[in-house]
Amino acid sequence: MSHEKVPLREIYLLMQLARAWDLRFENLFRTGAVKKWYSSVGNEAVTTAAGLALEPGDALASLHRDVGAIFAHYLDLPALFPDLVPPRRVRRDSRGDPREHLYGLACQMMGKADGYTAGHDRSYHFGHIDEPHGILHVGMISHLGAMIPVAAGLALAMKLRGEGRAAINFIGDGGTSTGDFHEALNQAAVMRLPFVLVIENNHYAFSTPEREQYACRKLIDRAIGYGVAGESVDGGDPAAVWLTVRRALARARRGEGPTLIEANLVRLRGHSEGDDSMDVVPVEERERFIRGDPMGRFEAAAIAAGALRPEEVESIGSGIHQLLIEVTDRAREAAEPEPGTRPVFAVCAAASERARTAPKPLDPAPTRAMAPPAGATYIDAIARALREEMERDPMVILLGQDIAAYGGAFKATRGLLERFGPGRVMNTTLAESAAIGIASGAALLGYRPVVEMQFADFISCAFNQVVNVAAKMFYRWEAPVPLVIRCPSGGGAAAGPFHSQNPEAWFLHVPGLKVVAPSTPRDALGLLKAAIRDPNPVLFFEHKSLYRRLREELPAEEVLVPLGAARTAREGSDASVITYGWCVHHALAAAAKLEGEGISIEVIDLRTLCPLDEEAVLASVKKTGKALIVHEAPLTGGFGGELAARIADQAFESLDGPVRRLAFPDTPVPFHARLEAAAMPDAEKIAAALRDLVGY
């Protein structure tokens, strides 16, 4: 790539703009116009050059010190600086008035209604998926390292679409210690994804020096361990950065996999404005950092190379300063956000146009009807739902540990690799966070990933990706994330405390997620198909004890069960049991037993826990006057407490007895079958609780 002409003039203009932007907002922070500021002073040579190295349609995943890359990705430089950048260097489709982009970004920094997230998230926590104009940008969350799997997921989507695009992500030296850094880089290497990860190494993580962060000689040495290309570059030399990133992107597009780049920087600011983290930097090191300021170095280099005339320097600086004064003054006068501009539940109501029109993968499956087996088991229904949705929609892809040739831990995906190929059924490494993060990234580009957890218990390893990345994307910048996470859950198999949990309540507290727990093969089929078509992240809990325990005749025609609709599994008049999953069958057995005693029990199968069919629950309780809530998860903090509160609040006048709960005791699930059975809610325990409630 050394023959390429480095765009020195564009780099210089963007570096000046990025530096002036930071200085302007540092001043606004001191005057109270912005609440928090993370300066990128000193990082400009890396971020602007890397951003300019991208091509139309490449993806940028940025952090809080990457405004230079954001400017390079969003702004039409000839339109912004018509007298300074020749039109012949326009590299992208038209992307709108650059002054309006700067205004929108300034509003974003101030939390104004005209900001990219309309005040719903802060600073650089925004993104755009605007493929017609070549803008693919996924902003950060505050948990550093968390967006590396998501960026790798964007790269996976690009690889599947075969369009010769690539994704780039940035991470600080501190962030290289996170689990997501290691998980995602390893998974990207195994999948040979078109992915470039740039480490902005300023040698301090907040206040922690590099000697206390890692023991390797250089961070780039880690590339060897992951089997990816690695390059080290002077982060104060933007020409070198541009050439290095261009080489990495070229490797990515050729199918040669990821590249890890370590850009060594100077540190000219603390972690954030107003902290004293620079005080830990020794005086002599601070002086060396100041001497290495990339702005002065590159200005001299650009003049020496003839890309910049000395007499232009002052006018460029004053012009940019005046531009930013105008933009930020306008933003300061912009409207504050109004409540109610995002749905309270913060989920996407409909599929995005992007998801409907995204290019097909390289190996689409032929669409043809498949007759269901007679007397299908629950696992048969899961397998049928996956097969039918993959046939119907070539954007449906499967990821998970051992799901390809092996067919998954419970054989739900058996035969799908042979039918749909390795571009649609993909093994992942033993790294749940990477799997779900990569799936989220692919979902942003219109794919509909279904990720299998071998056991629901293991989703704790990916908690951040579920609750802070996937769940909040629509709330933050209205990005649909059509992702399903299949979670084999529950006890009854004497599998002990780490393979038997029912963790659904962990996620019911998180706005932006949907939670489903079917109890029958038919509902497993119809609800999974609906979940895959839903534009939001869905946690799909499949009780393992149901997999092969019962059979049900399934119709040959398509079965779809809407999310958020409960069913009355049994009519009754004396008391209502509200439950879901395996406990539905225990409740039905208890109701059958009590019928012989003259007690009429109604059983409500919730099917979907979020969104909750509150109307069905309240109607049943108002009809019978009594309610018993049953779930296998532990009592304290379980979903039953929420249900009891809603019933007491909205059906109090109809109650003629207390709202009771029956659940697993507040203990881990024991290993021995006898100990486990003693703790499980079952038909006998439910019948006893109902006798007591009806006789109250």
d(CA 130, CA 108) in angstroms, rounded, equals 18
Using the CB atoms, write b or e for 615-631: b if 16+ within 10 Å: ebbbbbbbebbbbbbbb
Contact 81, 98 (CB under 8 A): no
C-alpha pair distances (Å), 57 with each of 34, 72, 128, 193, 436: 32, 13, 12, 16, 23
- Token readout for 218 is 């250089």
Q: How far apart are CA 390 and CA 377, in angstroms?
A: 20
- Whose CA is closest to 691, among 575, 558, 561? 575
Beta sheet of 396-400, edge-to-edge order: 425-427, 396-400, 448-452, 484-489, 538-543, 514-516, 608-610
Question: What string of DSSP letters covers 226-277?
Answer: HT-EEEEEETT-HHHHHHHHHHHHHHHHTT---EEEEEE----S-SSTT--G
At 516, give phi and psi (nearest 5°).
-125, 140
Question: Sign of torsion, CA 375 377 383 389?
Answer: positive
Residues in the chain: 696
Please tell me whether the peptide bond between 611 and the residue prior to it is cis, using omega within 30 degrees of 0: yes
Rounded CA-CA distance 278/275 in Å is 8
Catalytic annotation, pick one of 64, 73, 499, 585? 499
Q: Active site includes 182?
A: no
Quick one: residue 139, left, alpha or beta (phi over 0 = left, psi -120 to 50 = alpha)?
Answer: beta
C-alpha–C-alpha distance, residues 513 and 506, integer Å:
11
> What are the residues whose beta carbons fall under 8 Å from the beta carbon of 587, sequence distance 6 or more?
569, 577, 579, 601, 603, 630, 683, 686
Please give the Cα distance from 500 to 494 (Å, whole number).
Answer: 8
- Give the bridge partners for 136, in sequence order: 59, 129
Annotated catalytic sites, by residue? 499
